[in-house]
Structure 1
Amino acid sequence: MKQENEKTRYSDTELQEFKEIILEKLRIAKEELNNLASSLSSPNANGTDDTAGTYKTLEDGSATLEKESINQLAARQKKFIEQLEAALVRIQNKTYGICRETGKLIQKERLRAVPHTTLSMEAKMKQY
């Protein structure tokens, strides 16, 4: 049973605070994604074209592994950006900070640390 003073959503002022946190994280995430994309598109930055042929095969393998790793990081970064953008939509809808499992408010400390989360700690712990 809910107590009368128990909040069911965050105030517009609180939502604005979270929006600012998310916008800053979004700016940084997009910047990092652009850096990853530019490192993928730039040809061999180490300039090993003049190295002896015996090392060429090792270099090719290393470059391929590095590209795969950068692609994985870029994919993770894209997903993070999508999650942050979804959080902005929830702010606009005034549903931000409400746990999708329990329906309770997610603690502010958790939202400040993981602003794109949709689960309270209570719900997150049940997953394990």
Structure 2
Amino acid sequence: MGEKTRYSDEELMEFKQIILSKLEKAQEDYEMYRNSITHGDGNDTQDTSPTFKVLEEGAATLSKEEAGKLAQRQLKFIQHLQAALVRIENKTYGICRETGKLISKERLRAVPHATLSIEAKNGMG
């Protein structure tokens, strides 16, 4: 058989689930940062669930500038995850864009939007 050149459909489905759950979380975080920028005063009591309260207070202590940076970072992360989903559809997911080899599953579980293997990332080759 030799080395695998791509992940199986089952494996891709597993990664897809990981990405979708990360995407959902990232979008929630993004909304939270966005809201903390627009509301600023944090006097919003629409949702009084304890977890939301903590998030609200956490977000309220962020300066608009910090919240803006975090929102930007989340947005970039969301775009990376969406691109990863496209790669899953194209069945090119998990293939290092430099070496053409498969990126290890451990790495993909940790960084599901990775497009470089550890070797390539560390500048070998």
TM-score by length of 1: 0.79
Q: Is the 8 A contact 2:40 2:64 kept in 1?
A: no
User: What is the number of residues matched between the two proteins?
Assistant: 107
**What CA distance in whole angstroms lies between the structure 1 residues aligned with 2:40 and 2:26?**
23
* Structure with greater proportional helix content: 1
**What CA distance in whole angstroms lies between the structure 2 residues aligned with 1:108 and 1:101?**
17
Over aligned residue pairs, what C-alpha RMSD do you find? 1.7
CA apart distance, 1:45: 3.0
Matched, 1:66 2:63: yes
Matched, 1:121 2:118: yes
Corresponding residue for residue 24 of structure 1:
21
C-alpha deviations, 1:53-109, integer Å up to 9, x for none?
Answer: xxxxxxxxxx9x811111000000000000000000000000000000000000000
C-alpha deviations, 1:36-55, integer Å up to 9, x for none?
Answer: 11111114237xxxxxxxxx
Matched, 1:99 2:96: yes
Matched, 1:80 2:80: no
Structure 1 residue runs of 4 or more that deviate by more than 6 Å after TM superposition: none
Give aligned-pair identity as a percent: 64
SS in 2 for 1:118: coil
SS in 1 for 2:63: helix
CA apart distance, 1:6: 1.2
TM-score by length of 2: 0.81
Matched, 1:14 2:11: yes
